[in-house]
Structures are given as C-alpha cells and as structure tokens.
Amino acid sequence: MNEQLKKRLWVFVMLLAFTTQSFAQKSWGRSEQIETIKVAFITSKLDLTTEEAQKFWPVYNNYTKEFLELLKKKREARYNKNSDPNETINADLLYESKMLELKKKYRKLYAKAIPPYKILALYRAESEFREHLYKQLNNRRKGNE
C-alpha cells in the first residue's frame, strides 16, 4: 500500500473514530472533538510520511500542551480583577513574549522531524483551521439568533 493511500486511510479512520466516539460517549468534551478534527486536518494538509508522523506528533503535542498552559496563564492575568491595569498590560506583553519564544523553540524542534516547507504548511494549516472554526462558531451564533 503506498504512502498516500495509507495517509488517507488513517484520516478516514480518525474521522470515523471521532464520529463513533462522539455518539457513543456524550460526556466526551467539545475540546477533545475539536482537537481530533484538528489532528486530522493537519495530517491531511502536511501529507506526512509514516516516519515523519512518528517524529512530528509527539513534538507537536508537547508544543500544544505548553502553548495552552501559557494561554491559560495569560488569560488569568488578563482577567484578574484585583490587578492594576499597568500590571495587566505588562503581564500580557510578558506572556506574548513567552509565546513567541515557545514558537521559536518548537520551530527548531519541528525541523528535526519535518522539512521546512512542511513547517510552513503546518503554520498555514493551523491558521486555516482557526479560520474554519471561527466561521463555524459564527454560523451557529447567527442560526441561534
């Protein structure tokens, strides 16, 4: 079986598992569903070989975990009602700086797993996925009005 067919089969299996899982387990959270769809989306956009996927996904998962931790801290600092506005602004800038450093760190780690053109494809895929997600949310909000 060639690599392209394997990738498509894998994406299909992931989407099938997602669909089955979401019907079978109502308590499965929205964020897990979105993450599963995001993984399938990125996988299809990057066209990873099996070897690349084995190296890439652990690195990407670590990045996601660290990024979400920073984002949580940034939001907590931003919405802390007891802090001085100047402190809030400084904390916001500090977390923006930390997020940029994290992106630089992981760009180097990605380079050990995938070629530069796939790193660029990753950034584009993440952006496309966010745009798609925002559109879906806006469409749902408009439908509920």
pLDDT for residue 24: 46
Q: Is residue 112 within 8 Å of residue 55, measured between CB atoms?
A: yes
> Tens of pLDDT along 81-115?
888 889 999 999 999 999 999 999 999 999 999 99
pLDDT tens-digit map of 20-30: 444 444 445 78
**Among 65, 56, 53, 67, CA closest to 11:** 53
| pLDDT value at residue 80 | 84
Query: Rounded to whole angstroms, how far apart are CA atoms 70 and 67?
Result: 5
CA-based R_g, the chain, Å: 18
Mean pLDDT score of the chain, rounded to an integer? Answer: 85
Q: Is 25 helix (H, G, I), strand (E, B) or coil?
A: coil
Distances (CA, A) of 75 to 46, 50, 88, 92: 30, 37, 10, 8
Contact by Cβ (8 Å): 130, 46: no
pLDDT tens digits, one per residue of 115-133: 999 999 999 999 999 999 9
